[in-house]
Structure formats: structure tokens, C-alpha cells
Amino acid sequence: MKSDKIKLGAQNAPHRALYHALGMTEEEISRPMVGIVSSYNEIVPGHMNIDKIVEAVRIGVAMAGGNPVVFPAIAVCDGIAMGHTGMKYSLVTRDLIADSTEAMALAHGFDALVMVPNCDKNVPGLLMAAARVNVPTVFVSGGPMLAGHVDGHKTSFSSISEAVGEFNAGKIDLEKLHEYECKTCPTCGSCSGMYTANSMNCLTEALGMGLRGNGTIPAVYSARIELAKRAGMAVMELLNKNIRPRDIMTEEAFMNALTVDMALGCSTNSMLHLPAIAHECGIEINLDIANEISSKTPNLCHLAPAGRTYVEELDEAGGVWAIMNELSKKNLLNLDCMTVTGKTVGENIKNAVNLDHNVIRPVEEPFSETGGIAVLRGNLAPDGCVVKRSAVSPKMLRHKGPARVFECEEDAQAAINAGLINPGDVVVIRYEGPKGGPGMREMLNPTSAIMGMGLGESVALITDGRFSGATRGACVGHISPEAASGGPIGIIREGDEVLIDIPANKIELCIPDEEYKARMAAFVPEKKELSGYLKRYAELVSSGAKGAVLN
């Protein structure tokens, strides 16, 4: 065992003295050391129940003969960070989480790890750390929130965000807005739609790093506690078999995850996180692979915000494994990939049944023949950009309109709230990319305001920033290169025609070639005065097209 190097022999008596200082018995010290990485805190609704999950994992590890030891990881609530300076600190925590977990795990010589994340950045951050540390590892999340209920309809976080737009447009009064405020998020857990947190927890199953139900069993269900105990026992089995993250997270496993991503209609943020996780495994994922996979992968689910079903219903319908079973009928998955069950994907999913064809469409009757995410290219985004195609109105799949240009999210939000955006417009928000923000803020507030004000079928929004998984509509993000790196989004002028053609995977600034070249030659990106961690991050971060990994 890895920990034997610091536990056995006379020379390691000082180490054992410190274990005794922790109250460990000799019997505990002799067992494999299993680190449990806890993302528990009291500010993120998706994490407030993680103390219970961690305790269940501890029991599972101990039952299977391990010595469980807990240490922490940070997490930011994107919803609370949204719309102000705090969102600059969301994506950047992904690398802080990976770095700090790597440091803790290797400094203390753990034999195995159980990762207990839940929300947007600490799921991918811990997957990145798992790849780096590469000791047997199992993931078990805190689980999704139950949907809320307003006027007999289920709701989720996007509902309250769009209700603000409705209020600003005079469509609802303050009393109704307050009702949404109180009823939209009724339990702990990651917000109940197919937003980034639930997307990444489901894709953790598809990658093979989480047990069945990791992404879908609601946070408040007792089955989540049982799952955590099984995760603790499973990691000991992986340790006995010496199955490690890089044995599981192979190139084929990432292709499986991208395929499930397209079938589920996941958050566009998966196009940042999957390449970053793969990078830590020594695997490079090009954005063009996404379109290749999307072209042959049917979209089987329309969960909120794309539709009116929620993660709790996906769980009842059979969950991620049922989706994978449907995909296997068209030979779209590699069934030989190893997983944390100690079995292959094919062995895992062979008996998984699709129990609700309204939630998970049969592969023969999909919502669409192509996947939920599209990557667009053109003179406006030479390195690519991303849109959640499954959440775009058919009327907006192809749109051409005049640019309304804003240098930051706040300016765009003010214009939308003031009623200055007209049907047909293309709202452009720039200098919000990984370097330019810095931190690549999510644009949920402006996109929700557009939807809430009834402009969702007539107005598009493009940005070098990114979107919350709760965003829906013709919203194109990750435009690369970003404005701060000299990208063409920086040369758009008020009134320029912009073409978005999602079926053709195309995005264009419709000006003459000579004018385009002259503007690019004269373009000098704006510079921001930065300090602290954001300054270091901006200097090191790569393009959104490469997963915003640190160079």
C-alpha cells in the first residue's frame, strides 16, 4: 500500500506518533488510509447535506476494512455568485480545488480516495485531481434538489431567474415574484434541472467514476445515504483490484461521456470541463469531436431548462444507465470501458430499463436525431463557440440581426432591464472570457431577463463568457479567441449584422472581408488592472476552446 511508506518500520515512528495524536488506534493505522474529500459547507445549498453523505461514506469504508480520513474541498454557489464580481471566482475555483486536493492527497500518502462533490466546479475539479493523484477513487455526489412547485407546475432555479425578467416587464407583480422566491428551491441539493452540477454528476457516471444513481438520486432521499455507503465499500474493492482513475478515464470513456452529454442535453459548461479533465489524463479533446459525436447521437432528454422534466424524474425513469442502454442499441458506446463497479460499461447497463418514454425517449423516437450541444465556427469564432441546441426555439436555430455591443455583463443587463433591446437584436457581451473577465462569468441574469421579457424567440445573445446550465434560448458562449486575446468578437460594432446558423454550425460577422481585415489589423484589446489570484489566473489560463486549463 502507498501509505506503508510512511507507516511501517522504526524510521516512521514519528509519523505514527502523529497518527496517535489524532486518536487513531494501531488497528486503524494498519489499515489502508482512505481519504474522503468533503465539499461540505453552509453557504451552498448543494453542499449543506454533504456532512451526512461523508458520514455514510466513512461507515462504508470502515465496513470494508479501510481507515477513513476526511479532509475538505471548497465550493462556490454559482447562483449566489451570479451577476456580480463573485462570478469571476467561480470557474477559477476548479483549479484551486484540483490543486489543493492533489496537495493533500499526495502529502499524506492516501491509498485511495472517495470524492464527495456536488456543484458546478468542484465536480470537475475533483475529477481533475483524481486523474493527477491516480489512486483508486470513487465519486459520490450530494445529489440533486427536488423541483419546486408554483401554480401546479414544477420549477427550478431558472424559473426564479426568468420570473425576475417577467417582473421587470410588468408581467407579474411583486407578490408572485416573492412566491417564486420562496418555492423555487425547496430542498438542499444541486439545482433540479439539467444544469452544470447535475450534468457533471451524470457524466461522472458515464465516465465510469460514479456508481449508478450518482447523478440522479435526489439529495433528500435515503437512497442517497445507501449509495454513499456503497461508494465507501466500492473504493476498497477498487483498492484490492488496483483499478485507478486513469484505468477508467480512457479516451474511449471520454467519448462515451460526450455521447451521453449529447443524449442528455447537458450544460454547455461540459464543453469546458470534459476537455480539462481529459487534459489531466493526458488526453486532448478537440471541440470538433463534439460535432462529430453530436451528428450521430440522438437527443433523448429534454430536462429543464430545455423541457418540463427534472432530474428526480430522470432518476425514476432509470437514470443515466437507462440512457446508456438506449444508446447501446445503436452501438454508440464503447461497452468494454472499465468502471468503479469493477465491471465494464456493458456489464453495468445490460439490465438497465427505460421506465418512462416521456422522460427518456427511446433511441428510435428521439427529440432530435442530433445531440443537445453544437459547436459553431466562422469568422466571429475561428476557434469555435458553443450553444445548447436542445434548449433553442426552432424559430431561433437560424438568426440574423444587428449587434448590440456591451463591454461587460452589467452594461448589457442594464440595457435589457431598461427595455432597450428590440426583437431581432443580437446582444454581444465581450471581455468576459477566461482572461478578459477574468474568470469567464456565467450570463444567466441577462439570458433569463431576455426570456422573462418575452424576447426568447426573437433575440440572440453571444459572448466570450459562458452560460449557466439554467440558460435557455439562442445563447452562444465560449466564443474563441476571446476579445482580451485579440479575438474577432472585439471588433464588432453597434449595428453590424451577425449570423447564427446552428444547423450549419456557423457563426459570422457579416461585413466585407476587406473591412474585417482592416478592423482586425487595428484592434488593440482592452487591458484591466488586476491583483491577487485573478491576476495570476488571467496570466496562466488558456482559451475556452481548450477547456480554460492553466498553462
Rounded Cα distance between 492 and 516, Å, is 9
Residues 291 and 387: beta-carbon distance below 8 Å: no
Residues marked active site are found at 468
Rounded Cα distance between 119 and 102, Å, is 19
Residue whose C-alpha cell is 448589457: 412
Sheet holding 67-72, edge to edge: 67-72, 33-38, 112-116, 137-139
3 state SS for 326-355: HHHCCCCCCCCCECCCCCEHHHHHCCCCCC
Q: How far from the centroid of its chain's Cα atoms is residue 42's Cα? A: 21
Instruction: With CA atoms as reference, report the closest residue to 157 among 472, 404, 391, 439.
Output: 472
Phi-psi region of 320 (alpha: psi -120 to 50; beta: other; left: phi over 0): alpha
β-strand pairing of 33-38 with 153-155: unpaired
Beta-ladder partners of 466? 442
Residue whose C-alpha cell is 420549477: 155
Instruction: With CA atoms as reference, report the closest residue to 459 among 388, 387, 402.
Output: 402
Residue whose C-alpha cell is 437507462: 322
Instruction: Report which residue type is found at 341.
Output: T
55 CB neighbour count, 10 Å cutoff: 17
> Kind and range of the H or E element at 90?
none
Q: What 8-state DSSP symbol labels residue 537?
A: H
Q: What 8-state DSSP symbol labels residue 210?
A: B
